Structure 1
């Protein structure tokens, strides 16, 4: 049996994904955690072959968790399972030599294939992830300016036509903090206005056109 752990901050997703995995005869879900702290503690006593890891977590993010698992439990194979497939997220996770990277809307028919591939020592990247990796490899140069996950999130929301107050409410920050982020991003990228910041993020694939459907105004 392939012993699997799930790390995701959303209880409903963990439960649903566990039920989905239960349909695979070769798989046994032995661990469900809401954060990295719980996972690292559990790995001291529970044998796990593969951990499905989200990026957005409480206490510490998925990048930090991946780094600590690689350091202290190198035999555990990490498969990222996330809605984030921008260049920044993928490059950071590849730095930790994750065995797989899947989007949360991948087809169930591919899930078994991914698990077996990783369990046997291979690597498995979802089609959309492979496309981003190919673009990364095609770039002859990379930007000297590195954007943080929070900065990328703010740029994406601006690009989706949210205003300062709406962004502040969504991220549980003050409008003053959002304005400071905006000013810092313009300085950081050398843009004369925030449209220039958005264009920079698009050019270097920090955000993708497909993510920027205008928000619905109810």
Structure 2
């Protein structure tokens, strides 16, 4: 069972997200918070697998909370709830340790998929969020730069990067490519170093921007 702490300052949103997660069968919301500070306290108390955090909350916003959770409770992964109005927050979040972004008004199944992906060590970007980020980045960094960046990677490394962008964890990538998980860990570390990124979300953005996400 994947254990979740859910934080949003709107009770109606918390109710809806909790109801969606309850349909999954393998996800349990163990505690709810109205702000980022309370979410941090609940993570310390319950040690959940995932903290689902709204970006805009009082006291501590979701990104401040994600940063503290990453530093103090690395066993808990963070999935951020966002809206189309949060472009600036999304850009900032790429370096704050969030493992995924899900659109509040998107397909409810994406919340379930996002929780599962980050709980398993993967990164997850709602397709609409990914498109928004890529569009935003391409305004200042033209698309050819993304494809140029991945030219330093081998064909196998690009394949792994595409699967990281699709939200797969190392174990899932290993199973897909019929290799041991340790090999994938080496590939991922090499990819991060070659691309100059710090986490799977940043790598996933480059994968989306380069158009190398596999269809299946």
What TM-score comes out, normalization by structure 2 length? 0.60
8 Å Cα contact 2:47-2:75 kept in structure 1: no
For residues 140 and 44 of structure 1, the distance between their equivalents in structure 2, rounded to whole angstroms, comes to 39
Matching residue of 1:96: 96
CA distance in 2, matches of 1:133, 1:75: 27
Give the whole-Å Cα distance in 2 for the aligned partners of 1:85 and 1:75. Answer: 30
**Mapped pair 1:57 → 2:70:** no
Q: Which residue of 1 aligns with 2:146?
A: none
Q: Is the 8 Å Cα contact of residues 85 and 129 (structure 1) preserved in structure 2?
A: no
Q: Which runs of 5+ in 1 are unaligned?
A: 143-218
Q: How many Å separate the matches in 2 of 1:87 and 1:35?
A: 20
Superimposed CA distance per residue, residues 5-56 of structure 1 (whole angstroms, 9 cap, x where no aligned partner):
1100011221222122111111011010001221222222212011110111
The alignment covers a number of residue pairs equal to 142
Residues 24 and 112 in structure 2, CA contact (< 8 A), matched pair in contact too: yes
Change (3 A) 1:71 1:84: farther
Give 1:84 shift.
Answer: 4.2
Q: Deviation at 1:86?
A: 4.0
Q: Which residue of 1 aligns with 2:47?
A: 47
Query: CA, structure 1 residues 140+80, in 2 after alignment: closer, same or farther (shift >3 Å)?
Result: same
Q: Which has the larger radius of gyration?
A: 1
Alpha-carbon distance, 1:134 to partner: 1.6
Instruction: Give the match for residue 11 of structure 1.
Output: 11
Q: Please list every run of 5 or more consecutive structure 2 residues that lacks an aligned counterpart in the other structure.
A: 143-216
Greater share of helix: 2
